[in-house]
Amino acid sequence: MLIVMDRSATGQDVERVVAAAERLGLKAHPIPGAQRTAIGLTGNKGTIGPAAFENLPGVFEVIRVSHPYKLVSREFHPEDTIVSIGGVPIGGTALAVMAGPCAVESRDQMLAVAREVQRLGARLLRGGAFKPRTSPYSFQGLGEEGLKLLAEARDATGLPVVTEVLDTENVDLVAAWADGLQIGARNMQNFELLKKAGRTGKPILLRRGMSATLEEFLLAAEYVMAEGNPNVILCERGVRTFSDFTRNTLDLAIVPAVERLSHLPILVDPSHGTGRRHKVVPMSRAAIAAGADGVAVEVHHRPEEALSDGPQALRPGRFAQMMADLQKVAEAVGRTL
């Protein structure tokens, strides 16, 4: 931490800060400048926050210098982590394409979509059995029945299944049926859910909150890892900004940012990230070009009848085009599909 003193701070004020730091076991390094004094603090194990100093007389500002996350950090784990979901690796040279409907709606729908995406090259199956919906009057998902249909689709196609868990009470149920658990954007800071999902040991697909900073995102992953679960996959799905021509603003620069700070793999979801079907394919290409480890996209064989998020789902034909496009971009960046 760095403590910046007021211009009008007295020598006594500086001494008081130094004493407070020493009481907390830190070492204080005053740096007298022409106009004001700054005080560098070292020896902090990350448990002492700015609050311990911000209220002392003469303190103008307290600036935190080091990052509060550890397990997710590349500084502590320089090599890339590869997470396996049901045998499919995420994070290495091969890109992962996860595809499926927004919501599991019926046996016919789920099997039809699963077979299409498998045939067209997807490596993982997605689909929501428990759906977080803005309105209480919208379709809330099939629940356990949906989990069974996902498992049936896995059996039919061989594709491992990732599905969202909404609540601590259902963690065990979802973990019993799925190969990977998704924590949705609205739950990125549902810390009890992060802990309980982490304790299952299952791979966790952690989606960025709509207004999460990178640090908050990495700290949410840290919650999972602190439970002893190293299998975390990050997923950018767009953030909320003033920009109104897409449903969310896909913040693709997080891909190289995560690569620099963390060893965890990162996917991009251009379906939620744009909310518009005709932007999904170009933004999936952009994600791979930026260095993402794969994409998660919504596919529906009859999107006009989808019970949830129809406008952003790809039909199989356009999904096939996306796969062909990604094939070429993958080669351009030295990856394989």
Site for a second copy in 34-93 (CB under 8 A): 34-36, 38, 40, 42-43, 46-47, 49-56, 61, 63, 65-66, 68-69, 75
Angle between helices 277-290 and 316-332 (to 10 degrees): 20
> Which positions from 104 through 123 interact with a second copy, judged by CB under 8 A?
none
Q: Which stretch binds a second copy (CB under 8 A): 87-95, 108-116, 155-163, 282-290?
A: 282-290
**Alpha carbon 257 to chain centroid, angstroms:** 13
> Residue 193, interface with a second copy (CB under 8 A)?
yes
Could you say whether residue 186 binds a second copy (CB under 8 A)?
Answer: yes
Judged by CB under 8 A, the residue of 10, 15, 19, 29 near a second copy is 29
Paired tokens of 91: 């994070």
For a second copy, the binding residue among 94, 151, 173, 289 (CB under 8 A) is 289
Question: Shortest approach of a second copy to residue 292 CB, angstroms?
Answer: 9
Q: Is 31 in the site for a second copy (CB under 8 A)?
A: yes
Closer by beta carbon to a second copy, 111 or else 210:
210
The piece of 83-91, 117-125, 151-159, 304-312 that touches a second copy (CB under 8 A) is 304-312
Position 288 contacts a second copy (CB under 8 A): yes
Alpha carbon dihedral 195, 201, 205, 206, in 10-degree steps, equals 20
* Smallest distance, a second copy to C-beta of residue 178, A: 18
Q: Looking only at residues 131 through 170 of this chain, which bind a second copy when binding is defined by CB under 8 A?
A: 132-138, 140, 166-169
Residue from the set 116, 164, 179, 222 that interacts with a second copy by CB under 8 A: 222
Q: Interface with a second copy includes 303 (CB under 8 A)?
A: yes
Between residue 224 and residue 243, which ones bind a second copy under the rule CB under 8 A? 226, 239-243
Nearer to a second copy, 93 or 191 (CB): 191
